[in-house]
Amino acid sequence: MAELDLDAMIERFKGRAAAVKQRPLPPVAGEERQRFIEQANHDFQDFALIAGSTPSLVDGILTFTVDLRPASPNS
């Protein structure tokens, strides 16, 4: 198996998150349009969470750490 480049993986997820934001709406209306928008929002959230994580690979276990605590007013 090829070596896993965690930094490159995070960069790919950043690119995917940006691509979702730039994705044009297809020529659909009504419920289909709303479903497309909702899916795009979910895709962006998922990609952005991974893109903003700190990955680690220890003993064959890949872990993504995501700090979801609100930013402190002093930072």
19-60 residue pLDDT tens: 999 988 888 888 988 999 999 999 999 999 999 999 999 999
In a domain, 72, yes or no: no
What is the dihedral angle through the alpha carbons of 21, 43, 9, 19, rounded to the nearest 10 degrees?
-20
Domain count for the chain, please give it: 1
Q: 0.85 exceeded by the pTM?
A: no
In a domain, 71, yes or no: no
Tens digits of per-residue pLDDT, 58-67? Answer: 999 999 999 9
Host domain of residue 10? 6-65
CA distances from 68 to 2, 28, 41 (A): 32, 35, 18
Residue linked to tokens 């896993």: 4
| Contact present, 39 and 70 (Cβ < 8 Å) | no
